[in-house]
Amino acid sequence: EVQLLESGATLGQPGGSLRLSCAASGFDFMDFAMIWVRQAPGKGPEWVSSISSGGDATYYTESVRGRFTISRDNSKDTVYLQMNSLRAEDTAVYYCAKGLTNRAYYPGYFYHWGRGTLVTVSS
Amino acid sequence: EIVMTQSPATLSVSPGERATLSCRASQSVSGNLAWYQQKPGQAPRLLISGATTRATGVPARFSGSGSGTEFTLTISSLQSEDFGIYYCQQYHDWLTFGPGTKLDFK
């Protein structure tokens, strides 16, 4: 059974930094792209970032490019999201999701999601 | 960016009745359209991909139709567990989600 479990500090200040982790199990982690999706309160989900299976290709939505960094450690079956220069509008539940293939480009749709972790950015 | 819109914003239906949810894309997404169901405190659950293909374990009362810019999710006979928010998502040009339709019971 595929399982994805997000963790990390969940309260940050404007201009500050947070790092999220997502531990995966139940599938061959190194064979699949991984994705971060967020959902602001009362809004639809929003794709944030994707990383290829080998970690050599990464993509970001425009609003986080240059501030967020996605990475992965295939030896630990874990994907990360480093969030810098935080803004109030980054407040959301952050989900990690398993890609359909090894490609981060055009990740498609998502069968498997984590339970999500609420990130709040506030002074 | 392809913008997705959904209607209605809220739909109130009695158990056993049929529910029809609509999704529109700002430009053609061909058949690259997915539907999700989300309940409070949970992640979205994939229902439909490719506009019409039910995901594993999804009951047959859920069906998807449409192509291009107009799509529909139909729940033929609502069950109590079907309440929640339904989102459409296009994956033709990168990926974007709609704002959702909240389905609740009369």
Give just the sign of the alpha carbon dihedral B88, B75, A92, A110: negative
Q: Please state, in angstroms and rounded to a whole number, the distance separating the CA atoms of residues B10 and B85.
A: 9
- List, in order, residues 6 or more apart from B20 with CB less than 8 Å away: B72, B73, B74
- Whole-number Cα distances in Å, A17 to A6, A69, A86, A108: 17, 11, 6, 29
Q: What are the two backbone dihedrals, phi and then psi, of residue B20, each rounded to the nearest 5 degrees?
A: -125, 120
Please give the pLDDT value at position B48: 98
A42 pLDDT more than 90 = yes
Looking at the complex, report in whole angstroms how far the Cα of residue B60 sits from the nearest Cα belonging to chain A.
Answer: 18
Interface subset of A 79-108, CB within 8 angstroms of B: 95, 106-108
Interface subset of A 27-66, CB within 8 angstroms of B: 43-47
Please give the pLDDT value at position B105: 87
Shortest CB distance from B43 goes to which of A47, A109, A114? A114
Shortest CB distance from B87 goes to which of A45, A95, A108? A45
Please give the pLDDT value at position B43: 97
Q: B106: burial class by Cβ within 10 Å (0-12, 13-18, 19+)?
A: exposed
Which residue, B46, B85, B88, is CA-closest to B65? Answer: B88
Query: Which residues in chain B are contacts of A108 at CB distance < 8 A?
Result: 91, 95
Q: Chain B residues contacting A, CB < 8 Å? A: 4, 34, 36, 42-44, 46, 49, 55, 87, 89, 91, 94-100
Please give the pLDDT value at position A121: 97
Q: What are the two backbone dihedrals, phi and then psi, of residue A82, each rounded to the nearest 5 degrees?
A: -90, 120
Could you tell me how many residues make up chain A?
123
How far from the centroid of its chain's Cα atoms is residue B7's Cα?
10
Please give the pLDDT value at position A120: 97
Question: Does B96 sit within 8 Å of A107, measured CB to CB?
Answer: no
Please give the pLDDT value at position A9: 84
- List, in order, residues 6 or more apart from B41 with CB less than 8 Å away: none
- Report whether B100 contacts B50 (CB < 8 A): no
Please give the pLDDT value at position B106: 83
Which residue, B106, B60, B56, is CA-closest to B83? Answer: B106
pLDDT per residue, tens digit, chain B (106 aa), is: 999 999 999 999 999 999 999 999 999 999 999 999 999 999 999 999 999 999 999 999 999 999 999 999 999 999 999 999 999 999 999 999 999 999 998 8
Please give the pLDDT value at position A63: 97
- The tens digit of pLDDT for each residue in A2-29 reads 999 999 988 999 999 999 999 999 999 9
Mutate to test the interface with B, among A93, A109, A115 (most CBs of B within 10 A): A109
- The tens digit of pLDDT for each residue in A55-107 reads 999 999 999 999 999 999 999 999 999 999 999 999 999 999 999 999 999 89
